[in-house]
A = this chain, B = another copy of it.
């Protein structure tokens, strides 16, 4: 039995609290260390859930300056904890609020509102080996989130409207919830993140089958997992399914296991990607277009150059064609130093891969310096 340290008020936010926290700050500070930057606010709401017929709670993070700049509206990220946790976990253990404060202060993330809901809508029920019960819990979560929790936040906070301003992400059980709820509600979410967890392919079958439509609506499907995570094989299987069906996604395998250091890192990497347009080129940029024959023949290169010349005649943007017909990803790496870096780009675009698949590099049994095992 674990015993909590009675002289340490930092306790992990679990339904059944059994562990203390010891926060060791890094030098230089990690994104989850306390730093003297403008800080946002964490708001606790308690309400009587009509869907569940019980008292419920959720937390809302608002970015620094939210209270002062009362004209501005913000996008919303739903951020979910894992099994056994509660809505306070991402703040008290994950330091999500500090991570966002730092990213926003550094201009790395768009100021956003974050809602964290208790992911155990029916209490801490075990559903090991009982998929029907698991679906029931997930459905209770989905209904409360979409019908009560998000409307409460939309009513109480200044949010930018529309699915392009809604993201959902979570860790472990929260990853399952985010994928299942998110991929089945693309009319409400355009950005989805899953840290150290996946979901049953059948649970998101419609999104997988309508891959083209899914890709058109998804701005980002971001999946990450620790290489030593006990669930990493499940994540790989799910990602393979996405690839097989042609659903566009990003998969990141990172150092670590099924633990908060990984999840804090995931949030620090994921949050900067949210609610952003691709950044436009800026005056003085020297843009290298890296690619194979598609780039080499100057089709899109010319169009982009013309766009900037005609729309922004005063903005000096140089473009350099770094396409090489027949090139592969590995080929571009080999010629990087003398054929790409030598042009001194300030920005680059990459369009490669057609020659990799065509050459059957990924056929079973193939290996070598150009293939990943």
Q: Which residues of A contact B (CB under 8 A)?
A: 1-4, 6-9, 11, 13-18, 34, 36, 39, 41-48, 55, 67-68, 70, 86, 97, 155-157
- Residue contacts A-B, CB under 8 angstroms, 17 given: A3-B6, A4-B17, A6-B17, A8-B17, A9-B17, A39-B46, A39-B47, A41-B44, A41-B45, A41-B156, A42-B44, A43-B43, A43-B44, A67-B155, A67-B157, A68-B156, A70-B70
Copies of this chain, complex-wide, total 2
| A38 closest partner in B (C-beta) | B47
Please list the 5 inter-chain residue pairs (A to B) with the smallest Cβ-Cβ separation, ordered nearest first.
A67-B156, A36-B48, A42-B44, A4-B4, A6-B18
A45: min CB distance to chain B, Å:
5
Q: A10 to nearest B CB, angstroms?
A: 9
Which residues of B sit under 8 angstroms from A11, Cβ to Cβ?
A: 11, 17
Q: Which residues of B contact A18 (CB under 8 A)?
A: 6
Q: Is the CB of B4 within 8 A of A14?
A: no
Distance between A26 CB and nearest chain B CB, rounded to angstroms: 16
Q: Are A6 and B15 in touch, CB under 8 angstroms?
A: no
Q: How distant is the Cα of A44 from the Cα of B43 in the complex, in angstroms? A: 6
Q: Which residues of B contact A157 (CB under 8 A)?
A: 67
Evaluate contact between B4 and A15: CB separation under 8 angstroms.
no
Rounded to whole angstroms, the CA-CA distance of A2 and B34 in the bound complex is 31
In the complex, A96 Cα to B276 Cα: how many Å? 41
Q: State how many angstroms separate the Cβ of A246 from the closest Cβ of chain B.
A: 43
In the complex, A6 Cα to B17 Cα: how many Å?
5
